[in-house]
Structure 1
Amino acid sequence: MEIKLKIQNLKCHGCANTIVTQLSKLNDIAEVMVDNNSDEVSFIYSSELSFNLAKKKLSDLGYPIVGESNSLPKKAKSFVSCVVGRITK
């Protein structure tokens, strides 16, 4: 199944690189794409479990889904993820 999610705290291509890299490591997640212009991430998943793990990973990286809690610690995590994504690109 394919899904497109609007996420929070997406700032740059460093953020996108981190998201693509980290979600691609998850089992049963494929074709991860990030659109910085629309703040959306899309991917293919094979089960509800893999979808929920991907949502949790996004939140843990600091990019919660729009409508979910976006606390200060999550915002701070997104800045760290952004820097890591710029370094590892």
Structure 2
Amino acid sequence: MSFQFLGIESIFNIQNNDMMRTKVHLQHIKCSACEHIIFNSLSEVKNISDVEVNHEECTVAFDYHTKHDFEKAKHVLSRIGYPIVGKENKLKTEM
């Protein structure tokens, strides 16, 4: 089963120890260095696994156990400067 809403595509995989998989579209991904930052940051979050980042599609996909785990991942993404598309961007850029 797959759903997409505001840049969030959730794929529920009930057969894998009740883990869920999501794929979200992020703001500010520009290069492979961004991929590494996102991968390393999410890989450190408890109950987040199988992280896959694609800077060409501006997406990250990962497995999680609970809604709370998903919320932690969203918070980490926002904190490191890559909020989910449709969320407020608190980064200020100056030109």
Q: TM-score, normalised by structure 1?
A: 0.79
Amino acid at match of 1:45: Y
Bigger fraction of residues in helix? 1
Q: After the TM superposition, which segments of 4 or more aligned residues of structure 1 sit over 6 Å from their partners?
A: none
Partner of 2:84: 65
How many residues align? The count is 75
**Aligned: 1:39 with 2:54:** no
* Residue in 1 that maps onto 2:16: none
Larger radius of gyration: 2
Percentage of pairs with the same residue: 37
Gaps of 5+ in 2: 1-19
Is 1:53 paired with 2:67? no
Query: Following TM superposition, by how much is the alpha carbon of 1:37 offset from its aligned partner in structure 2, in angstroms?
Result: 1.1
Q: Which has the higher strand share?
A: 2
TM-score normalised by length of structure 2: 0.74
Q: Which structure ranks higher in relative contact order (CA pairs < 8 Å, sequence separation ≥ 6)?
A: 1
Contact 2:25 2:84 in 1 (8 A): yes
Structure 1, gaps ≥5 residues long: 77-89
Q: CA RMSD in A?
A: 1.4
